[in-house]
Amino acid sequence: MSDKAHQVCINPDCRATYSLDEIIFSCSKCKSLLDIVYDWDRLAVPRSLEFFEHRWGTKGRTAAGRLDFSGIWRFRELLPFVPEDSIVTIGEGRTQLEQNDPLARHIGMKPGKLFLQYEGLNPSGSFKDNGMTAAFSLAKRLGRTRVACASTGNTSASLAMFAHKSDPPMQGIVFIGSGKIAYGKLSQALDYGALTLQIEGDFDACLRRVLQASDRLGLYLMNSVNPYRLEGQKAIMYRVLEARDWEVPDWIIVPGGNLGNCSAFGKAFRELHDLGLIKRIPRLAIINATGANTLYQLVTKDGLRWNGGRYDRATISGLYAAMDESHYLPHTIASAIEISRPVNLPKALRAIDIMNGLVREVSDDVILEHKALVGKYGFGCEPASAASVAGAHMLFDEKVISPGETVVCILTGHVLKDPDATVMYHMGVDMKHATPPPQVTPTGACSNSPKRVPDDLEAICAALGEK
C-alpha cells in the first residue's frame, strides 16, 4: 500500500518525496511542511460519494464493522495511507450536523441556512480525535510505542485517550507549560494516564523541547505538523457533505489557531473535486481571535496569498520580527486559538486559495456572546469554537454572505471543556475564588446568572413568578 502514497514537500520549487515509513515532520531539503499525496489512479476510489452510505448500518465486532462505525474510517478510501489492520479506532467522528433555525434567526439569517457541526461530540470532546486516530494508526504501523505532544489543551486530551485505548497501549507523553490551562482539558490528560511533564516555560518552550526529545528518544510527535492528523481531519468535511445528502454548502466557517483544520478542509475539497466526486467547492472563512490574529494580519491586512506556493515569505518574517521586537504575546479567552505563529500557515494559505477563502477577526466579547447563543439555542461549545458563529454573523452583516447562501460553522470543542469561561460570562465572577458569591450584574447581552433568593418558600414562589 505504501507505494501508492507518499509524503511530499508542499514547496513547488522542491517537491521532495519521502516514503511513508520515514519519520520526518518537515522537508529535510527546504524545511517546508509535508503533505500526504496519493497515487489515485492506482487506488480503488469510489465513483460517487453515495458509495459510503452502505456503511451506515454497520457496527460490529468484525474488523470492517469497526472501521465502518468510525466517522473517519468509513471514508477509508479517501485517506488510504495505512493498511486496515493497523488502524487505531475507538469510534471517533460520530458527530452531528444540526440545522439551527433559532440561531439563524437571531443573527438575521433565513431558517434552513445555518448549520452547526458539533465536533465536541467526539470521545475526547473535540475535533482533535479526527486527526489522532489517523496519526496513531501510522504510529502503530511504524511500531512506535511512545507518542508525545506539547499542548495544554485538546491535543493532549485526545492524545492521552488514544494512547491508552490503543491495542497494545502506547505511552502518551504530554508537555505542558506554566501558562494558563483550561482544567477541563488538563484533567483529561491526567485522568487518561498520560505522563505529563510541566516545563518551566511557555508553550513555545514546550514545543521546542518536545521536538528535541522526540528526536533523541524516538518519541512519535503528535502536534499538528504531523501531516497524518490533517488526513483524518478531512473527514469532518466528508461528514458535513454526508449529512447534507452530499450537497455542497456555500460556506465553511472555522476558527483558526495552528491552522491544521482549515488546511485539512482545503485538501479535502481539492481532492474530492479532482476525483470528480463533487462539482463545486464551498468558500472558506477562517476566524481569528483579535488577540491572536496573525493570519488576519497577514492575509486580510497585508494581502498575503498562496501564489502557487511562492508566497511572500518576507511579509511573514517581517510580522514575526515585529512581534519579537514588541515582545508580543497572544491573548484571548479562546485559549485553543491563542497562537501567534501558526505552524500550518502555508497550508492555510493554500486552503484559502483552493476555497476562495477569507479571514476575519472577532473580539473576546463577541466570541463569548456567540458562545452563549450556541448554548441558548444549541448544545453549547467552548470559547474558541464560537468564533466560527461570530464570524458567520459578521460576514452576514457585511453582506459577504448573502441571504440565500448555506453556511456551516464548525464547533470544534465541547461546552464542558472550559466551564470557567462559561461561569465567568454568566455570573460576572470567577466562582472558584468567590466565597460567598457576590451579587454582581454581568454585562453580557446573553448572561444568565442565578437569582439570589432567601431560604423561604414565599420568596422562592415570588422569584418563580407566582403570587
Ligand X SMILES: *Cc1c(COP(=O)(O)O)cnc(C)c1O
Q: What distance in Å separates the CA atoms of residue 157 and residue 143, rounded to the nearest whole number?
A: 22
3-class SS string, the chain:
CHHHEEEEECCCCCCCEECCCCCCCCCCCCCCCEEEEECHHHCCCCCCHHHHHHHCCCCCCCHHHHHHHCCCHHHHHHCCCCCHHHCCCCCCCCCEEEECHHHHHHCCCCCCCEEEEEHHHCCCCECHHHHHHHHHHHHHHCCCCEEEEECCCHHHHHHHHHHHHCCCCCEEEEEECCCCCCHHHHHHHHHCCCEEEECCCCHHHHHHHHHHHHHHHCCEECCCCCHHHHHHHHHHHHHHHHHCCCCCCCEEEEECCCCHHHHHHHHHHHHHHHCCCCCCCCEEEEEEECCECHHHHHHHHCCCCCHHHCCCHHHHHHHHHHHHHCCCCCCCCCHHHCCCCCCCHHHHHHHHHHCCCEEEEECHHHHHHHHHHHHHHCCCCCHHHHHHHHHHHHHHHCCCCCCCCCEEEEECECHHHCHHHHHHHHHCCCHHHCCCCCCCCCCCCCCCCCCCCCCCHHHHHHHCCCC
Of 14, 64, 97, 195, which one interacts with Zn ion (CB under 5 A)?
Answer: 14
Instruction: Give which of Zn ion, ligand X, none residue 261 binds (C-beta under 5 to 8 Å, depending on kind).
Output: ligand X
Helix axes 383-397, 364-377, angle to 10 degrees: 100
Q: What distance in Å separates the CA atoms of residue 241 and residue 256, rounded to the nearest whole number?
A: 21
Of 5, 6, 11, 80, which one interacts with Zn ion (CB under 5 A)?
Answer: 11
> Closer CB to Zn ion, residue 8 or residue 189?
8
Please provide the distance, in angstroms rounded to a whole number, between the alpha carbons at the two ends of the chain: 74
Of 5, 8, 20, 27, which one interacts with Zn ion (CB under 5 A)?
Answer: 27
Instruction: Give which of ligand X, Zn ion, none residue 337 binds (C-beta under 5 to 8 Å, depending on kind).
Output: ligand X
Q: What distance in Å separates the CA atoms of residue 86 and residue 70, rounded to the nearest whole number?
A: 14
Q: What character string, x for contact with ligand X (CB under 6 A) and - otherwise, covers 221-240?
A: ---x----------------
Cα four-point dihedral sign 138, 144, 149, 153? positive
- 69-77, 108-116, 253-261, 294-302 -> range binding ligand X (CB under 6 A): 253-261
**259 near ligand X, rule: CB under 6 A:** yes
> Closer CB to ligand X, residue 67 or residue 225?
225
Site residues for Zn ion, window 30-89 (CB under 5 A)? 30, 32
Instruction: Read off the C-alpha cell for 378.
Output: 444549541
Of 257, 266, 330, 428, which one interacts with ligand X (CB under 6 A)?
Answer: 257
# chain residues binding Zn ion, by CB under 5 A: 8
**125 near ligand X, rule: CB under 6 A:** no
Of 70, 126, 137, 166, which one interacts with ligand X (CB under 6 A)?
Answer: 126
**249 near ligand X, rule: CB under 6 A:** no
* Least Cβ distance, residue 374 to ligand X (angstroms): 12
* Least Cβ distance, residue 410 to ligand X (angstroms): 8
- 77-85, 259-267, 297-305, 309-317 -> range binding ligand X (CB under 6 A): 259-267
Instruction: Give which of Zn ion, ligand X, none residue 275 binds (C-beta under 5 to 8 Å, depending on kind).
Output: none
Instruction: Give which of Zn ion, ligand X, none residue 413 binds (C-beta under 5 to 8 Å, depending on kind).
Output: ligand X
**184 near ligand X, rule: CB under 6 A:** no
Site residues for ligand X, window 327-366 (CB under 6 A)? 336-337
Instruction: Give which of ligand X, Zn ion, none residue 126 binds (C-beta under 5 to 8 Å, depending on kind).
Output: ligand X
Instruction: Give which of Zn ion, ligand X, none residue 256 binds (C-beta under 5 to 8 Å, depending on kind).
Output: ligand X
> Closer CB to ligand X, residue 129 or residue 405?
129
Instruction: Give which of Zn ion, ligand X, none residue 249 binds (C-beta under 5 to 8 Å, depending on kind).
Output: none
* Least Cβ distance, residue 396 to ligand X (angstroms): 21
Instruction: Give which of Zn ion, ligand X, none residue 30 binds (C-beta under 5 to 8 Å, depending on kind).
Output: Zn ion
Site residues for ligand X, window 410-449 (CB under 6 A)? 412-413
Site residues for Zn ion, window 327-366 (CB under 5 A)? none
**408 near Zn ion, rule: CB under 5 A:** no
Instruction: Read off the C-alpha cell for 98.
Output: 444540526
# chain residues binding ligand X, by CB under 6 A: 19
* Least Cβ distance, residue 154 to ligand X (angstroms): 3
Q: Which residues bind ligand X (CB under 6 A)?
A: 126, 128, 153-154, 224, 255-261, 336-337, 382, 384-385, 412-413
